[in-house]
């Protein structure tokens, strides 16, 4: 995973509430069992003129020249709700989005972001409106937990310590957890005695 | 919290009262991680064919075996064909590869697979409880947002992404920040004709689709206790539509009776030992939640959605709000202030992990018996599992549905969502017993109204959105 520290980039406003993962990547765009080849399908219901087509809808923000190089997305409340498909985040990442700024996120989506190098930044709706109105480059500073504009305005944001560390260092969570192998083995040995019904399948063969 | 705990111990030397959620969470903490997260043991993992191959193949490519294959299950449900006589072929373009690749990966990993033509096949959240795979007090995850359904058993069950599924399979754990807790108490009694689906739509309509954000939500109160297990599953199913991490209900005698004799549940002396532990799981009197909501169940009427989020829902005798936002209305083709009842429909769908169980089918069939769907309405019913289908056929429900003009399908997710395969005719207005009314959820341009199976049945007969209470069953 690509580490994230500080990013200054164009932020595309897509400020609608409850943007769901079906809109970010419709199920019909998940054409293979892999994690790639998804950027084309990103926001396809809005980005293209016809379902399944590839003619850009000029009204859609990412199709506008001013936002062609956007790497930050501004969203509405409950961003990423709906299906748990991680493809939504893979599609965003493949397209080049590295941070999404929204007043709130669906929990599964936010977790998927931090595992794929995208920072889910929670800011109040009025701050997001201010950033959108400003229109210039936006800086997301993860170590300082701060979003700022060239005009000096800045907003602090909260992010979990674990999510922050994983994003900053681009860590693989599985490797981190393997450091606890002994704890896991000890837990399971004790638990097998305490709650044998959880482990029934191991003996059934 | 620390202060409160200290005071109690000092005063009474009693254990701190804990919530159902806290009891399960605390029991599963393997280690505390830097930064306040916990390493939490995962008891059960469920995969499906839409994302199963991706997770299993990615693990394999990284040289990481599945740590506990006997506790990992996989089912083919999302894109399988639901027309009788089906095989691996599916109407979704390219869909067959998802089925064949998931099958190969599941076999390779040594996990239990419920395959397309298996008698146990069905929707993941229907199959798992049917087979006794979910148990009270267990942690269960699946890369599917409606995994919260299974919290109805007093389990901690929630949806995750593919990376977390890989992590859980490789390590038997997940790294998690402890969520906040919320209790939603439904006091009093439901009025006749009002169902758990209506309870959830009312909750989300009143408190917003983000109302439960990130919380582990416990459903409690007399109206919840009165529900049977299937109703409880419907309730917990839509916790994700409330942006909650999960929904859960304290296990009770109904829960234990349901599990007795199920294939993967304990039996005999081990069941007795398990039940003894499960009885201790319920939230202690006086336990504190981070948030509380109370709703008088008697104030709820049958609900129907009018927009493109479950929060866009109203009572069937109500109307689209005067101040409804433009975009959802433009999509759904209704105007502000327009009454919801009476809106003509093109299609009716009964099924899904929300409302595709035997009791759902029974209640819909009771309204349909001796009646027929309105001319021009396409209607289909898709049982939540093949076991549901067989049980329904044994009662003759299939004949009631087909005689009423419904198609009677094999089990699967079917037209609950659109993957590029089967859909309704373009632009159709569909009344559906499913859980999501998002733009395009059931197909490009399809306008979905979510409601209870009763409301779907009544509307199918009327050809327009109709109140099931107006039909004497
Ligand atoms: S029935 Fe619908 S909501 Fe349930 S698991 Fe299948 S696609 Fe998801």
Encoded tokens for B178: 């402890």
Min distance B370 CA to chain A CA atoms (Å): 38
> Residue B62 C-alpha to ligand 1 middle, in angstroms?
30
CA distance linking residue B263 with residue A201, whole number of Å: 10
C-alpha A199: how far from chain center: 35
CB contact under 8 A, A85 and B171: no
Residue B452, phi-psi category: left (phi > 0), alpha (psi -120 to 50), beta (remainder)? beta
- Is the CA virtual torsion A52, B350, B383, B403 positive or negative? negative
- For the CA of B125, the closest atom of ligand 1 is 5
Entry field: residues in chain A: 205
The C-alpha torsion from B387 through B393 and B396 to B397, rounded to 10°, is: 60
**pLDDT on residue B12:** 55
For chain B, what is the radius of gyration of the CA atoms?
A: 22
Q: For residue B151, what is the enclosing H or E element?
A: none
**pLDDT on residue B7:** 47
Q: How many CB atoms lie within 10 A of CB A47?
A: 20
**Which protein residues touch ligand 1 with a CB less than 6 Å away?**
B 78, 123, 144, 146, 352-353, 413, 416-417, 434-435
| Beta-sheet pairing, B139-142 with B44-48 | parallel
**pLDDT on residue B13:** 60
CA distance linking residue B414 with residue B215, whole number of Å: 30
B299: which DSSP letter? G
Domain for residue A178, yes or no?
no
Burial of B318 (0-12, 13-18, 19+ CB in 10 A): middle
The position carrying tokens 């997940």 is B174
Q: Identify whether the C-beta of residue B392 lies closer than 8 Å to the C-beta of residue B383.
A: yes
Q: How many CB atoms lie within 10 A of CB A122?
A: 16
Q: For residue B209, what is the enclosing H or E element?
A: none
Q: Identify whether the C-beta of residue B379 lies closer than 8 Å to the C-beta of residue B406.
A: yes
Q: Identify whether the C-beta of residue B471 lies closer than 8 Å to the C-beta of residue B367.
A: yes
Min distance B448 CA to chain A CA atoms (Å): 14
Q: How many CB atoms lie within 10 A of CB B307?
A: 26
Q: How many CB atoms lie within 10 A of CB A41?
A: 24
Q: Please report the number of interchain residue pairs, chain A to chain B, with beta-carbon separation below 8 angstroms.
A: 195
Domain for residue A52, yes or no?
yes
The boundaries of the domain holding residue A53 are 6-171
Min distance B412 CA to chain A CA atoms (Å): 16
**CATH code, domain with A40:** 3.20.19.10
Closest by alpha carbon to B42, among B25, B64, B61, B62? B25
Domain for residue A191, yes or no?
no
What is the number of alpha carbons within 13 Å of residue A20 lying toward its C-beta? 23
Average pLDDT for A62-80: 96
Candidate from B162, B177, B265 with C-beta closest to A86: B162
CA distance linking residue B410 with residue B392, whole number of Å: 12
Q: For residue A133, what is the enclosing H or E element?
A: helix A125-134
Candidate from A18, A34, A184 with C-beta closest to B209: A18
Q: For residue B207, what is the enclosing H or E element?
A: helix B196-207
Contacts of B171 (CB under 8 A, 6+ apart): A174, A177, A178, A184, B67
Closest by alpha carbon to B431, among B360, B381, B361? B381
| Chain B contact for A189 (CB, 8 A cutoff) | no
The one-digit pLDDT tens for each residue of chain B (473 residues) are: 344 444 444 555 667 899 999 999 999 999 999 778 899 999 999 999 998 999 999 999 999 999 999 999 999 999 999 999 999 999 998 899 999 999 999 999 999 999 999 999 999 999 999 999 999 999 999 999 999 999 999 999 999 999 999 999 999 999 999 999 999 999 999 999 999 999 999 999 999 999 998 999 999 999 999 999 999 999 999 999 999 999 999 999 999 999 999 999 999 999 999 999 999 999 999 999 999 999 999 999 999 999 999 999 999 999 999 999 999 999 999 999 999 999 999 999 999 999 999 999 999 999 999 999 999 999 999 999 999 999 999 999 999 999 999 999 999 999 999 988 899 998 999 999 999 999 999 999 999 999 999 999 999 999 999 999 998 65
Domain for residue A68, yes or no?
yes
Q: In what order do the strands lie in the sheet with B378-381?
A: B407-408, B378-381, B347-350, B429-432, B447-450
CB contact under 8 A, A198 and B97: no
pLDDT-derived band at A203 (thresholds 50, 70, 90) equals low
DSSP for B68-107, please give it: -GGGEEEE--SS---STT--S--SSTTHHHHHHHHHHHHH
**pLDDT on residue A34:** 85
Burial of B119 (0-12, 13-18, 19+ CB in 10 A): exposed
Alpha-carbon distance values, A72 to A13, A61, A100, A127, A175 (Å):
9, 12, 6, 15, 29
Best of B67, B162, B424, B436 to mutate (most A CBs within 10 Å, chain A): B162
> Residue B176 C-alpha to ligand 1 middle, in angstroms?
25
The position carrying tokens 């008891």 is B43
Q: Identify whether the C-beta of residue A178 lies closer than 8 Å to the C-beta of residue B171.
A: yes
The position carrying tokens 């294959």 is B69
CA distance linking residue B442 with residue B347, whole number of Å: 11
**pLDDT on residue A32:** 84
Entry field: residues in chain B: 473
CA distance linking residue A78 with residue A20, whole number of Å: 8
| Chain B contact for A27 (CB, 8 A cutoff) | yes
> Residue B85 C-alpha to ligand 1 middle, in angstroms?
22
CA distance linking residue B214 with residue A80, whole number of Å: 13
The position carrying tokens 């399988």 is B80
Candidate from A30, A51, A165 with C-beta closest to B444: A51
Domain for residue A1, yes or no?
no
Average pLDDT for A85-93: 95
C-alpha A52: how far from chain center: 24
Alpha-carbon distance values, B310 to B103, B141, B207, B243, B319 (Å):
34, 24, 11, 11, 15
What is the number of alpha carbons within 13 Å of residue B317 lying toward its C-beta? 5
| Beta-sheet pairing, B38-41 with B29-32 | antiparallel
> Residue A11 C-alpha to ligand 1 middle, in angstroms?
33
pLDDT-derived band at A136 (thresholds 50, 70, 90) equals confident
Candidate from B112, B167, B419 with C-beta closest to A174: B167
Domain for residue A147, yes or no?
yes
**pLDDT on residue B6:** 46
Q: Identify whether the C-beta of residue A157 lies closer than 8 Å to the C-beta of residue A143.
A: no
Q: Identify whether the C-beta of residue B360 lies closer than 8 Å to the C-beta of residue B468.
A: no
Min distance B394 CA to chain A CA atoms (Å): 31
Domain for residue A203, yes or no?
no
The count of structural domains within chain A is 1
DSSP for B323-362, please give it: T--HHHHHHHT--TT-BSTT-B-SEEEE-HHHH-SHHHHH
pLDDT-derived band at A2 (thresholds 50, 70, 90) equals confident
Contacts of B143 (CB under 8 A, 6+ apart): A84, A85, A86, B47, B48, B51, B52, B55, B159, B160, B161, B162, B164, B165
Whether pLDDT at A195 is above 50 = yes
The position carrying tokens 């239990």 is B112
CA distance linking residue A14 with residue A79, whole number of Å: 10
**pLDDT on residue A178:** 94
3-state secondary structure of B174: strand
CA distance linking residue A189 with residue A180, whole number of Å: 14
Encoded tokens for A201: 């399948």
Domain for residue A198, yes or no?
no
The predicted-structure confidence for B139-188, as pLDDT tens digits, reads as follows 999 999 999 999 999 999 999 999 999 999 999 999 999 999 999 999 99
Encoded tokens for B95: 């869909």
Average pLDDT, whole number, for chain A? 94
């Amino acid at each position: 995973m690509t580490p994230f520290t500080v990013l200054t980039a164009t932020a595309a406003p897509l400020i609608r509430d409850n943007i769901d993962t079906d809109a970010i990547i419709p199920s019909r765009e998940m054409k293979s069992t892999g994690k790639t080849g998804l950027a084309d399908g990103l926001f396809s219901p809005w980005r293209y003129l016809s379902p399944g087509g590839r003619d850009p809808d000029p009204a859609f923000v990412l199709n506008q020249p001013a936002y062609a190089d956007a790497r930050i997305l501004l969203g509405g409340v409950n961003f990423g709700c709906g299906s748990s498909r991680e493809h939504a985040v893979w599609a965003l990442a493949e397209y080049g989005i590295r941070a999404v700024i929204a007043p709130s996120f669906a929990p599964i989506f936010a977790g998927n972001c931090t595992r794929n190098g995208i920072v889910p930044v929670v800011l109040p709706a009025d701050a997001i409106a201010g950033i959108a109105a400003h229109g210039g480059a936006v800086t997301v500073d993860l170590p300082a937990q701060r979003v700022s504009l060239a005009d000096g305005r800045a907003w602090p944001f909260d992010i979990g310590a674990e999510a922050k560390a994983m994003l900053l260092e681009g860590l693989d969570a599985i490797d981190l957890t393997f450091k606890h192998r002994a704890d896991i083995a000890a837990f399971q040995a004790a638990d097998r005695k305490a709650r044998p019904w959880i482990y029934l399948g191991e003996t059934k063969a | 919290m620390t202060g409160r705990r200290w005071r109690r111990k000092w005063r009474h030397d009693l254990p701190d009262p804990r919530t159902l959620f806290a009891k399960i969470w605390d029991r599963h903490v393997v280690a505390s991680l830097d930064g306040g997260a916990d390493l939490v043991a995962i008891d059960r993992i469920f995969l499906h064919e839409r994302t199963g191959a991706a997770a299993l193949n990615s693990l394999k490519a990284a040289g990481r075996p599945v740590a506990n294959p006997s506790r990992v299950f996989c089912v083919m449900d999302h894109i399988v064909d639901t027309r009788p006589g089906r095989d691996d072929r599916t109407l979704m373009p390219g869909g067959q590869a998802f089925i064949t690749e998931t099958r190969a990966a599941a076999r390779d990993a040594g996990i239990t697979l419920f395959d397309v033509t298996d008698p146990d096949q069905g929707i993941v959240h229907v199959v798992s409880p049917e087979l006794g795979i979910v148990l009270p007090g267990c942690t269960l995850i699946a890369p599917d947002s409606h995994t919260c359904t299974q919290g109805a058993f007093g389990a901690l069950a929630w949806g995750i992404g593919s990376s977390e599924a890989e992590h859980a399979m490789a390590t038997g754990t997940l790294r998690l920040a402890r969520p906040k807790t919320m209790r939603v108490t439904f006091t009093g009694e439901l009025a006749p004709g009002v169902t758990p689906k209506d309870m959830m739509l009312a909750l989300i309509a009143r408190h917003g689709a983000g109302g439960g954000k990130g919380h582990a939500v416990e459903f409690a109160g007399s109206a919840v206790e009165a529900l049977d297990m299937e109703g409880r599953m419907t309730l917990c199913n839509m916790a994700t539509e409330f942006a909650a991490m999960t929904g859960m209900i304290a296990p009770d005698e109904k829960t234990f009776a349901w599990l007795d004799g199920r294939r993967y549940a304990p039996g005999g002396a081990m069941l007795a030992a398990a039940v003894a532990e499960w009885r201790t799981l319920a939230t202690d009197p006086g336990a504190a939640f981070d948030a509380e909501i109370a709703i008088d169940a008697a104030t709820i009427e049958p609900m129907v959605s009018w927009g493109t989020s479950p929060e866009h829902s109203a009572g069937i005798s109500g109307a689209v709000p005067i101040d409804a936002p433009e975009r959802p209305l433009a999509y759904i083709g209704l105007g502000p202030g327009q009454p919801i009842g009476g809106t003509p429909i093109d299609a009716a769908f009964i099924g899904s992990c929300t409302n595709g169980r035997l009791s759902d089918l029974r209640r819909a069939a009771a309204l349909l018996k001796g009646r027929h769907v309105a001319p021009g309405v396409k209607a289909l019913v898709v049982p939540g599992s093949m076991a549901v289908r067989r049980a329904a056929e044994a009662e003759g429900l299939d004949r009631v549905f087909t005689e009423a003009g419904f198609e009677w399908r094999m089990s699967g997710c079917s037209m609950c969502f659109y993957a590029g395969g089967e859909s309704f005719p373009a632009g159709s207005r569909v009344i559906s017993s499913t859980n999501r009314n998002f733009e395009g959820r059931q197909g490009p341009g399809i306008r979905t109204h979510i409601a209870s199976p009763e409301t779907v049945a009544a509307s199918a007969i009327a050809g327009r959105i109709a109140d099931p209470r107006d039909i004497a069953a």
